[in-house]
Amino acid sequence: MLGVTDTEPPDDETPDGLLGWCLVANVARETLHGEGRLELQHGTKHFRAGTLLWLPRVRWDPGHCRWPAVGRHRGNSRRYVRMIVRAEDLENFRVKGVYSEALVRGLNGYDHDPAAPRTLRNPWTRECAQSWADSWKVRREPVFIEGHPYARLRISVPNPPPQEIQLDGETLHLAHYGTKGARYSRTAPPVERVPEL
C-alpha cells in the first residue's frame, strides 16, 4: 500500500521520504454494538473490518479507551477521514512510517499548516509508539456486568477470565466468555443435578 512501510531500517538510518512514525492498528473483524452490546458487526459503521487506522498522538483524551483515528472510510476509500474509535474495536497494534502528505494532513487535523504540508504536529517518537503498541498486545478481556447501569465497566480481567470476581464487596459469576470479553452476572450458575441410578 502506498504511504506505509513494514520494513525496519537500521537504527542509525532514516528511510528516504519518511515524514514520521505513527501508532497503527487494524479494525477488528468482529465488533459489538447496540443495547447490551449484543449486536455483532463486521467492522464499524465508518470502517470495514481489517482497515488500517493511523492513531495520532493527542494532547487530549476523547474518552476512556477512545482514540482519534485516521483511515480510509467505508464509503469512500480514496480519502482519509478522521473519526473517534473505541480501542476495543482495534487489533494488531504496531508502528509504521508515514510517507504521504495526505496522511500527514489527516493526522494533523485542525492543526495542519498548509505552509508546512510535510510536518507532523505533535509526532510520535518511534520508541513511544512501540511502547504503546506493546502495551495493547497484552491480552486482557473487557468486563460486562448484567444488570449494571453501565453495562461495560472500565475494568478488565486476565485471559482466560476467572470464574468469579469481587467488585464493590459483591461476588460476580462468569456467565459467558466470547471473542469480545467476559460477561459476569450476580446470579450464580445453576448447579447440575446428577440423576440417581
| Distance of alpha carbon 172 from the chain centroid | 26
Residue type present at position 103: L
pLDDT tens readout for residues 41-51: 788 888 999 99
2 pLDDT band, cuts 50/70/90, is very low
Mean pLDDT, rounded, for 109-126: 86
Specify the pLDDT at position 4: 42
pLDDT, tens digit (0-9, with 9 covering 90-100), for 149-186: 544 455 677 777 888 888 777 888 888 887 667 888 88
- Please give the grid coordinates belonging to residue 105: 494532513
Q: Residue 9 and residue 163: Cα distance in Å, rounded?
A: 46
Q: Is the pLDDT of residue 6 over 50?
A: no
β-bridge mates for residue 41, sequence order:
31
Q: How far apart are CA 125 and CA 110, in angstroms?
A: 21
Residue type, 143: V
Dihedral sign for Cα atoms in the order 72, 135, 66, 109: negative
Q: Does residue 36 have a pLDDT over 90? A: no
CA-CA-CA-CA torsion sign (83, 86, 91, 94): positive
What's residue 146's pLDDT? 73
Reported confidence tier of residue 194, pLDDT bands at 50, 70, 90: confident
Count of all residues that appear for the chain in the document? 197
Q: Are strands 170-178 and 52-55 parallel, antiparallel or unpaired?
A: unpaired
